[in-house]
């Protein structure tokens, strides 16, 4: 059984940094997608970054490119989203999700993700 648990949210002033953690357990294969998504109040959930673990291929949405970075600790089955130079528009509930995949492009689509964490709140004040 696959479990996804994220943590690390909080409140920060604009320009500050936070690091989110996502621990994925239960996969018996090494090829899967891990995506980060966020949902602002009144808006749809959007994908902001993902990694295809088999190749280490990463993707970042334009809104976070250059400010957010995915890294991973394979020994801990944990991935991190380092968020720097945070802006008020980054405020929202952040979710980590995972799904089996055989190619990187599969990671782009939110509907492809089968296993979701509970979410963690990020609030950026101006």
List pLDDT tens digits, range 97-120.
999 999 889 999 999 999 999 999
Decide if 52 contacts 101 (C-beta within 8 A): yes
Collect the ranges in the chain with pLDDT lower than 50: none
- The Cα-based distances of 118 to 3, 55, 59, 93, 97 in angstroms read 10, 26, 22, 10, 9
Determine the pLDDT at residue 27.
83
* Residue 124 CB partners (closer than 8 Å, separation 6+): 11, 12, 13, 14, 16, 86, 87, 88, 89, 90, 91
């Amino acid at each position: 059984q696959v479990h996804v648990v994220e943590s690390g949210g909080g409140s920060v002033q604009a320009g500050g940094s936070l690091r989110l953690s996502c621990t994925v357990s239960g996969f018996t294969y090494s090829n899967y997608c891990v995506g980060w998504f966020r949902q602002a109040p009144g808006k749809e959930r959007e994908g902001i970054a993902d990694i295809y673990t088999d190749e280490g291929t990463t993707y970042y949405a334009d809104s976070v490119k250059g400010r957010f970075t995915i890294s991973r600790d394979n020994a801990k089955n944990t991935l991190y989203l380092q968020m720097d130079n945070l802006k008020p528009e980054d405020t929202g509930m952040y979710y980590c999700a995972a799904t089996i995949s055989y190619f990187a492009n599969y990671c782009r689509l939110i509907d492809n993700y089968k296993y979701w964490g509970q979410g963690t709140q990020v609030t950026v004040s101006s």
